[in-house]
């Protein structure tokens, strides 16, 4: 006799965290659009405030709709718990400020979303938290950058926008040897493509705005605790292992064991910083997650078709998709991302910035905007938009050139996407030809 | 709080409070492969309500050192040693699964030390399948999987935790994964070998609560008939919708039921 199989991803995506509504029998998760919740009596109220009972007090701290989303992503990632936040950036900030304070240090991949880079490089130093950026492809560089005051190692599962594949097992080993947790941003990959906790990561964050939602109608973030990192053994995290005066000397690792991190993040960070998610947003994200599996499958199918097309075009000097021959992460991607490397990738056009702009402007089906992971296909020029705050060196470290174009491949018919790209390439070719003639 | 009992370090969660002799004491005992954190909500609650709370980590579990004990009787003897070392004369004992058998054994053999007995997710005898015994003896993850999957009601396999943001399945698996090699097997074997439950239940003179999960697949309600009949007028509460892991699946209903006992 052996244990029955755990429910699969598609089943969890539909059911995890939800039960028919106990009040009405509603099968869909209701939107509990209420700021606060009534207490049946004073002792019940006191017990909720003192973490003695399960329940809700105030929607900045928890909400029944958000709770379903939080359980669902924790289930999909095989974590112990999660918190829904106002955005992916809020999730990142919540994680960092739960783990450390002034005088601390982070080692992060240089290949990050521009917003994450901005927070780490420019904003957190004002609060006394510094970051050293290293080559995402070099675990030894992560190791070399760790200092006595380092408290977190952070990277994206696949870098934005170059799709540098993070060697999670190797970087996790480096982090754990130094008594540090590894947090990964799995926005581009979702639990459909990779399970970072199984590979050694300790904390996962998502911008749920992207593939988890798929519809592009809300902003939201998710922070997930894997529950395997031993905060007590590390000895570097007093916020989790020493009495917290802000909650009657509660010691989170003592009282919550594997869920110490996510509980502190809720009891302190969500309470004090207040970057909570609206229950209506949580509802919308839940609708997206219900179809995560079939959408991601189609995203990958379309991406492979577009990548194959672009790879054959003379005007395209590079396609940065890790499944291609010549990509530096091809072998690693085959090992860690066998179902695909996501639906966001970049490529370079001959003709540089001018050709890139002409290409983007000529597209019709692809929407020119600053987002990824929508059901609709998207395009952007990173150097002038998402990554415009980065200087030339930082851009180069992130694998971004002047003529780099980033695509997010949606769910349209692949034939139509390729047709639109042909149109863009024709416009870019004219610019490239005239530029060459001018020279 | 850390104590030294029989030469080993023993951890007890006390809600960061000293044991006050004038207060009643409630002792919580976790189940197989678990630790004191399964009782955090209940411990905090009864501490605020004027009780000394002592949520133990059995030897070899959680923050307690030493080898795991191999019989329910030895765990009961150890528990009395812990209570002695805290200078507690009399306590209410609340145990889950294996912990409930330890509490039962204490209540039958040390009646002057036990003022009330709460058995949560329980039955007696408590046979353990060969599949679980074999997998736990081999320290296979499959033992954790079986106990986790069968430890929750079918509906709670998909969550629905009222404790926001916590995925019960994942949290339970992490607790099992934290257990030291061999510990779960010793716990399971101790449950399986404890044959004196009904006989000992008949000797219990203090108030008794049997708190059962209506959809418990590890210690199903139908298997508790003998235990119900063996006790003298026990209080029986069946929590519909809950499986074996009542502390997580029905935390509020459990508190309410324990209030009626304590």
pLDDT value at position A1? 64
Helix (H), strand (E) counts: chain A: 20, 12
| Mean per-residue pLDDT, A136-159 | 97
* Contact criterion met (CB < 8 Å) for B165 and A62: yes
* Contact criterion met (CB < 8 Å) for A74 and B131: no
The tens digit of pLDDT for each residue in A64-99 reads: 999 999 999 999 999 999 999 999 999 999 999 999
Query: Residue A112: pLDDT above 70?
Result: yes
* Contact criterion met (CB < 8 Å) for B13 and A255: yes
Query: Residue A337: pLDDT above 60?
Result: yes
Task: Please state, in angstroms and rounded to a whole number, the distance separating the CA atoms of residues A335 and A389.
Answer: 34
| Mean per-residue pLDDT, A37-53 | 96
pLDDT value at position A4? 75
* Contact criterion met (CB < 8 Å) for B165 and A82: yes
In this structure, which CATH number among 3.30.930.10, 3.30.2310.20, 3.10.20.340, 3.40.50.1820 belongs to the domain B2-261? 3.40.50.1820
Q: Where does B130-250 have alpha helices with state H?
A: 130-137, 141-151, 168-178, 183-193, 197-201, 225-230, 246-249
This complex has an ipTM of 0.96
* Contact criterion met (CB < 8 Å) for B165 and A258: no
CATH architecture of A293-438: Alpha-Beta Complex (3.90)
Q: pLDDT below 50 — which residues of chain B?
A: none
* Contact criterion met (CB < 8 Å) for B131 and A1: yes
CA distance B6 to chain A (A): 23
The token pair that represents A320 in the structure block: 């940065």
Query: Residue A184: pLDDT above 60?
Result: yes
Q: Where does A57-195 have alpha helices with state H?
A: 64-77, 88-99, 114-118, 139-145, 168-177, 190-193
The tens digit of pLDDT for each residue in A362-401 reads: 999 999 998 899 999 999 988 777 777 667 777 776 677 8
In this structure, which CATH number among 3.40.50.300, 3.40.50.261, 2.170.190.11, 3.40.640.10 belongs to the domain A9-289? 3.40.640.10
> Is A202 an 8 Å CB contact of chain B?
no
The tens digit of pLDDT for each residue in B240-252 reads: 999 999 999 999 9
Query: Residue A439: pLDDT above 60?
Result: no
Strands A221-225 and A203-207: antiparallel
> Is A257 an 8 Å CB contact of chain B?
yes
Query: Residue A438: pLDDT above 70?
Result: no
The tens digit of pLDDT for each residue in A270-281 reads: 999 999 999 999
Q: Which residues of B touch A74 (CB under 8 A)?
A: 165-167, 170
B213's enclosing H/E stretch is strand B208-213
For the sheet with A404-408, list strands across it: A316-320, A344-349, A404-408, A378-380, A367-368
* Contact criterion met (CB < 8 Å) for B164 and A262: no
For residue A420, which of A375, A377, A374 has the smallest C-alpha distance? A377
| DSSP 8-state assignment for residue A382 | G
pLDDT value at position A400? 78
Q: Considering chain A, what is the average pLDDT of its residues?
A: 94
Nearest CA in chain A to B172: A80
The token pair that represents B95 in the structure block: 């145990």
Positive or negative, the CA dihedral A165, A169, A175, A181 is positive
* Contact criterion met (CB < 8 Å) for B41 and A266: no
Bigger pLDDT: A376 or A403?
A376
CA distance A342 to chain B (A): 26
> Is B44 an 8 Å CB contact of chain A?
yes
> Is B164 an 8 Å CB contact of chain A?
yes
* Contact criterion met (CB < 8 Å) for A52 and B45: yes
| DSSP 8-state assignment for residue B222 | G
Query: Residue A172: pLDDT above 70?
Result: yes
> Is B261 an 8 Å CB contact of chain A?
no
Q: Which of A16, A56, A251 sits opposite B164 (nearest CB)?
A: A56
Q: Which of A51, A257, A262 sits opposite B165 (nearest CB)?
A: A262
Would you list the domain boundaries of chain A? 9-289, 293-438
């Amino acid at each position: 006799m052996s244990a029955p199989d755990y429910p699969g991803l598609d089943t969890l995506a539909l059911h995890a965290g939800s039960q028919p509504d106990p009040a009405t029998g509603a099968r869909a998760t209701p939107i509990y659009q209420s700021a606060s919740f009534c207490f049946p009596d004073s002792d019940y109220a006191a017990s909720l405030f003192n973490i003695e009972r399960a329940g809700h007090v105030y929607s900045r701290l928890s909400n029944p709709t958000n709770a379903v989303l939080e359980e669902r992503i924790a289930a999909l990632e095989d974590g112990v718990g999660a918190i829904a936040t106002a955005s992916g950036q809020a999730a990142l900030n919540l994680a960092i400020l739960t783990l450390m304070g002034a005088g601390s240090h982070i080692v992060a991949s240089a290949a990050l979303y521009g917003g994450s880079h901005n927070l780490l490089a420019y904003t957190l130093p004002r609060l006394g938290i510094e970051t050293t950026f290293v080559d995402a492809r070099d675990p030894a560089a992560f190791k070399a950058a760790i200092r006595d005051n380092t408290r977190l190692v952070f990277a994206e599962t696949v870098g934005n926008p170059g799709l540098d594949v993070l060697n999670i097992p190797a970087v996790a080993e480096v982090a754990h040897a130094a008594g540090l947790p590894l947090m990964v941003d799995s926005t581009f990959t979702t639990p459909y493509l990779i399970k970072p906790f199984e590979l050694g990561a300790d904390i996962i964050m998502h911008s749920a705005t992207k593939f988890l939602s798929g519809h592009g109608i809300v902003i939201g973030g998710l922070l997930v605790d894997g529950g395997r990192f031993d905060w007590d053994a590390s000895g570097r995290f007093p916020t989790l292992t020493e009495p917290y005066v802000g909650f009657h000397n509660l010691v989170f690792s003592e009282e919550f064991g594997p869920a110490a991190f996510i509980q502190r993040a809720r009891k302190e960070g969500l309470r004090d910083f207040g970057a909570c998610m609206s229950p209506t947003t949580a509802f919308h994200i839940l609708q997206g997650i219900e179809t995560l599996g079939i959408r991601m499958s189609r995203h990958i199918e379309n991406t492979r078709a577009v990548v194959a097309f672009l790879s054959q075009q003379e005007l395209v000097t590079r396609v940065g998709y890790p499944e291609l021959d010549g990509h530096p992460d091809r072998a690693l991607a085959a090992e860690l991302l066998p179902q695909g490397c996501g639906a966001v990738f970049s490529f370079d056009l001959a003709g540089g910035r001018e050709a890139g702009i002409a290409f983007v402007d000529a597209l019709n089906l692809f929407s020119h905007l600053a987002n990824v992971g929508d059901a609709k296909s998207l395009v952007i020029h990173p150097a002038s938009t998402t990554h415009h705050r980065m200087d030339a060196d930082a851009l180069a470290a992130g694998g971004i050139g002047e003529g780099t174009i980033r695509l997010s491949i949606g769910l349209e018919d692949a034939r139509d996407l390729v047709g639109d790209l042909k149109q863009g390439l024709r416009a870019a070719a004219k610019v490239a030809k005239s530029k060459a003639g001018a020279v | 709080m850390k104590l030294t009992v029989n030469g080993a370090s023993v951890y007890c969660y006390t809600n960061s409070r000293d044991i006050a002799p004038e207060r009643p004491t409630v002792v919580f005992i976790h189940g197989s492969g678990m630790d004191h954190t399964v009782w955090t909500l209940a411990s905090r609650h009864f501490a605020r309500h004027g009780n000394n709370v002592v949520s133990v980590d059995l030897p070899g579990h959680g923050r307690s050192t030493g080898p795991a004990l191999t019989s329910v009787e030895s765990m009961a003897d150890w528990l009395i040693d812990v209570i002695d070392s805290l200078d507690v004369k009399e306590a209410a004992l609340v145990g889950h699964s294996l912990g409930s058998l330890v509490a039962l054994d204490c209540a039958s053999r040390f009646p002057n030390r036990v003022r009330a007995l709460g058995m949560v997710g329980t039955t007696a005898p408590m046979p353990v399948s060969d599949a679980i015994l074999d997998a736990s003896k081999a320290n296979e993850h499959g033992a954790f999987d079986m106990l986790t999957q069968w430890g929750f009601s079918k509906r709670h396999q998909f969550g629905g935790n009222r404790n926001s943001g916590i995925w019960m399945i994942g949290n339970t698996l992490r607790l099992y994964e934290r257990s030291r090699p061999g510990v779960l097997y010793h716990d399971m074997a101790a449950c399986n070998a404890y044959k004196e439950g009904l006989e000992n239940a008949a000797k219990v003179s203090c108030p008794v609560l049997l708190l059962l999960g209506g959809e418990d697949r590890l210690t199903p309600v139908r298997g508790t008939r003998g235990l119900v009949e063996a006790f003298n007028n026990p209080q029986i509460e069946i929590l519909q919708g809950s499986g074996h892991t009542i502390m997580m699946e029905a935390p509020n209903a459990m508190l309410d039921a324990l209030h009626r006992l304590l």
